[in-house]
Amino acid sequence: MKKRLISIIIPAHNEAKIIHYILQRLITLVNPGDIYVVDDGSTDATAEIVETHGCRLLRLQSNVGKAMALNTGIKQFQLYSRYRYIFPLDADTTMTRTFIPEIIRCFSQNPKKPHAVVGRVCGTSKNWLTLYRMWEYEIGQSIHKRAQSSIGAISVCSGCSTVYKSDVLQNMTFPGVDISWIWRWQF
């Protein structure tokens, strides 16, 4: 069976206020059948909202946390055997129209080397705190990540903007902390 290009998997716990907007935006970028939502024991209308968008849904009876929800969803939906790339996306994250094509281009430039490609996170400036966070992300992404990349040792892949080769995920699971997972790849 030929693998499809990319799946998006979203762990969601009580995201009824935002999930409609996020899914509406994603559907303009990818086929709704390639969007998978793991309802992580929500007590609000998250699952019902997901169902109205034609996305795939897995309902967990209780809240197991982001890492376990991702692991369960990837396994239950068999994403590593059906897709070349898997994109775990936070339920409150959006992306630009060029995000996925740019990520795929990065993988295509060197098909054997990268296990994951990290995108760039951009926030919205609403007050001094969000403005500071945007500045902090910019420093981290523009300087630190480039330096780490040049020596082939990225220490952390952002949980909301990293796309993984599916064969890598077939042999690993998401831990509670991203950094321990990334270090296992490199050391």
Residue 55 contacts residue 35 (beta carbons within 8 Å): yes
Q: Identify the CATH number of the domain in which residue 62 sits.
A: 3.90.550.10
CA distance 133 to 123: 8
Q: Is 75 helix (H, G, I), strand (E, B) or coil?
A: helix
Is residue 89 situated within a structural domain? Answer: yes
Encode pLDDT of 71-84 as tens digits: 999 999 999 999 99
Confidence of residue 111 (pLDDT cuts 50, 70, 90): confident
Banded model confidence at residue 158, pLDDT cuts 50, 70, 90: low
Could you tell me the residue range of the domain that residue 78 belongs to? 4-119+159-172
Domain assignment present for 37: yes
pLDDT at 81: 93
* pTM (2 d.p.): 0.80
Q: What phi and psi values does residue 97 have, to the nearest 5 degrees? A: -65, -25
Q: Does residue 141 belong to any structural domain of this protein? A: no
- Per-residue pLDDT for 127 more than 60? yes
Q: Give, in order, the Cα–Cα distances in Å from 147 to each of 79, 139, 158, 164, 180.
A: 32, 11, 16, 21, 20
Whether 20 is in a domain gets the answer: yes
How many folded domains does the chain comprise? 1
- pLDDT for 41 equals 97
DSSP annotation of 167: H
